[in-house]
Chain A
Amino acid sequence: MPAYILLSRLTAVSERQILATPDTLKKVRQVLEEWEANILADFHLLGMYDHCTIFEVSDNFRAQKAVLELEITRSPGTMLLPAIDLPLFQRMIGQEIRTVGPHEWQVKWWAKVIRLCFRWYQYDRWIWKYCKPLITTGKQHLKDIKGPCIVIGNHTSHFDALVLFSCLPQKIKWNIYFGAAADRWFLKGGGGRKELPLQPWYNSLIGGSFPIRRGGGSATLDYSKWLLDQGANLAIFPEGTRSTSHHMARFKHGVSILALEKNVPVVPVYLTGLAKIRPKGSRNIYPGPVQAHIQPPILLPEGTSVPDATRMIYHAVNRVHERVMEHGPDAGRHDWRG
């Protein structure tokens, strides 16, 4: 979650209030927490600023709204500074940030044939080695899908994409493309790593993935729309990044925008067991049982707003997530009846 640093100066009114009731200072925390901010540190200062609060919140909008609610910050000279964790900043300075792609040639027949030839190397050998066993349920939900669709999954591990791909029937697999973080998988020259100079091309051709820029923006979805126009299927993890908590992160709006604009079904697949196989932040891989539960496709009614559509999709996946959290992996099956 992004961090922010709020440096504020007290107005004369605020100072009088604080002297009368010192607990007023703690209100800063309360107001920020009402906006779902997580307070990391909170100081009173001597010098050119009076107060410093370091907090995490989901985005700039929330940070700004929360700060606007604070009486204490209404004096001139108050600053809200978006902060970047220093090790990340250091990595960013040291590495290539220009990205490559998307590569439209990845939908050509010859690219699909090459991908098919590499399927064992890219996907199946990992599944065979580490997913012991891989149980897939709900394939019948995909029988009636004729045109392109958007397959979505909960995201806890780099292994998710492999399992999501493996659990799908051949007719969808043949022509499916994965959205992948541009700043992670599509850096020019592999981001300067000598062993990965062709990484973006490899990911486009063999991995069947395409770059998605973090942070949204209308141009982000142009290539996804183009893929759907070509009759291709998309696989997207709408949480945007791998989740480490027991709660699913909020969904980004991209899937809803695409599904509404192109009128295609959204197929949720709930994946379990993968966070233990390759946990976020770990390079180790441990074998273990994995389940992929394909849920019924969601067709968004015409005229649905994007936020409502995102909510609808989120609730469909979150219902399964809560069942699994309570009753275990088998509860992810669509036909599970307790």
Chain B
Amino acid sequence: MATYIMLSTLTDEGRKTLKERPERLQAVNKEIESMGARVTAQYAVLGGYDFVNIIEAPTNEVMARLAVELGSRGTIQITTLPAIAVDDFVEMLKGDIKEAG
């Protein structure tokens, strides 16, 4: 499974929904699972975004589908970033350097 960081910002409509029904957050997680992905960590944040979610999904396509599905409701704006564990990335870079040498 690949990892993705999903940065999301609530729209005005999203803020209203969250205030009225905070339990929606968990319902969304279940929907994400039903689409073949899984939320591994989730934070509400202060600053340029409202939520940071770490999601595992099998492919970019599943993740794109997920982003469209969630974004289409008009409650959040989403930025999705593919993520690589730093240790794996460092190993990958070292491999490249060896090959180049």
Q: Chain A interface (Cβ within 8 Å of chain B)?
A: 3, 5, 7, 18-19, 22-23, 25-26, 28-29, 40-49, 51-52, 54, 79-86, 89-91, 93-94
Contact = CB atoms under 8 A, between A and B. Distances in A.
Categorize the interface residue count of chain B: 35 or more
B25 to A, nearest CB: 6
A49 B51 CA distance: 16
A82 B45 contact: yes
Contacts of B97: 19, 22
B86 A25 contact: yes
Nearest to A94: B22
Contact of A48 (B44, B51, B81): B81
Interface of B: 3, 5, 7, 18-19, 22-23, 25-26, 41-49, 51-52, 54, 79-87, 89-91, 93-94, 97
A81 B48 contact: yes
A48 B6 CA distance: 12
B15 to A, nearest CB: 10
Q: Which 3 A/B pairs are nearest by Cβ-Cβ distance?
A: A83-B43, A43-B83, A22-B93
B84 to A, nearest CB: 5
A43 B94 contact: no
B43 A86 contact: yes
Contacts of A5: 43, 45, 52
Given A5-B52, A22-B90, A83 B44 contact: yes
A54 B44 contact: no
Given A25-B90, A93-B18, A3 B43 contact: yes
B45 A54 contact: no
Contact of A42 (B19, B42, B44, B86): B86
B44 A22 contact: no
30 contacts: A5-B43, A19-B97, A22-B89, A22-B91, A23-B90, A26-B86, A41-B54, A42-B86, A44-B84, A45-B5, A45-B84, A46-B82, A47-B80, A52-B81, A54-B52, A79-B47, A79-B48, A80-B47, A81-B47, A81-B52, A83-B45, A83-B52, A84-B43, A84-B45, A86-B42, A86-B51, A93-B18, A93-B19, A93-B22, A94-B23
Nearest to A84: B44
B18 A82 contact: no
A47 B93 contact: no
Given A22-B90, A25-B90, A42 B85 contact: yes
Contacts of B94: 22
Nearest to A40: B41
Nearest to A43: B83
Contacts of A86: 25, 42-44, 51
Contacts of B85: 42-44
A46 B44 CA distance: 22
